Amino acid sequence: MEAAHAQRLGERLLHTGLVRVQDLAEFLQSTFEGDGDVEVRRAAALEDASPRDVSFVMRGRAMKSAVSSNAGCLIVPREFDNAGQRTVIRATNPRAAMARTIARLHPQLTPIPGVDPSAVISLGATIGPEVYIGPFVSIGVGARIGAGTSIGAGSVIGDSVVIGERCVIHPRVTIYDDVILGHRVILHAGAVIGADGFGYVFENGVYEKFPQIGRVEIGDRVEIGANACVDRAALGVTSIGEGTKIDNMVHIGHNCQIGRHVVVAAQTGFSGGVVVEDYAVVGGQVGVGDKARIESRAVVGSGSGILTSKIVRAGQTVWGTPARPLKEYLAQLAVLSRLAKKRKSSEEA
């Protein structure tokens, strides 16, 4: 398998050549200005780009920095002032266009399908076609692995786990029994899916474990970051909807219901029974109490705290601890600032 991987790497380097700006614009279904025959090799940050690089500009300070950038081509907003006659590609969403450009110029190395000799696959497991199973992977009884899925070194797949097609399971991921993953799910290194929820009963002066016999279900095209944890339900299902993106070191407690296309930044923790509806955005280091609800398209600012059973209304932006509407939060900060200035003035008098 090592020789096959080396060959695949060589093929990737061979096919990652120069691309003309006019061809890149056609690939992006966008228009270009300037020299369409300029060739670019790689994507780079605006300040680091060379004449063989492509970079992108969104707005603000970057628009001014674009003038001095050495990039051979810039992907810019429709309204970009090209008075300097740069070679540019105009896009409605330059960041999205840049993402597609990176995928075009820097194709990922996909592993050659096959099973490493050190992997342990239990009897009754079903392995689909074109699957890659890396070194020291363990796959439990009755597990089903969909076509084209890749499972990285040292990962543990429990009994009766279902993994859909074209999933990427990075090294040292642990998936407990009875977890269901949809198609094209990405789990980064160290993620733990389906561990017991934090459920205990206090009786006679001691904590007794409340058995966690539920499961976890994860929808299509979900991505979960490194060292994130998704706990199984005590009873029922902990679920994550289609297209949701979970950052590194996020904890999703038992019986949480995370909707579709939700974005959650790093180090956020959801207590048991939390509901997050579709298209909500949750910043980093947010703490969410039991059975709280974040409704559709709400935004929770970084570092906020949402109390138990609190409801963040649809489309609302909240901040602070306890979380409250952004306008109210900013007004309270202004009052505190004025009080601090008055106190300083009185002390100096």
Report d(CA 98, CA 111) in Å as an integer. 25
H-only helix segments in the chain? 2-15, 21-27, 61-65, 94-105, 326-348
Rounded to 5 degrees, φ, ψ at 231 are -85, 145
DSSP track, 113-169: SEE-TT-EE-TT-EE-TT-EE-TT-EE-TT-EE-TT-EE-TT-EE-TT-EE-TT-EE
254 is catalytic: yes
Active-site option among 170, 251, 254, 261: 254
Residue 291, Ramachandran bin (φ over 0: left; ψ between -120 and 50: alpha; else beta):
left
Residue 236, Ramachandran bin (φ over 0: left; ψ between -120 and 50: alpha; else beta):
left
Q: How many CB atoms lie within 10 A of CB 329?
A: 18
Positions marked active-site: 254
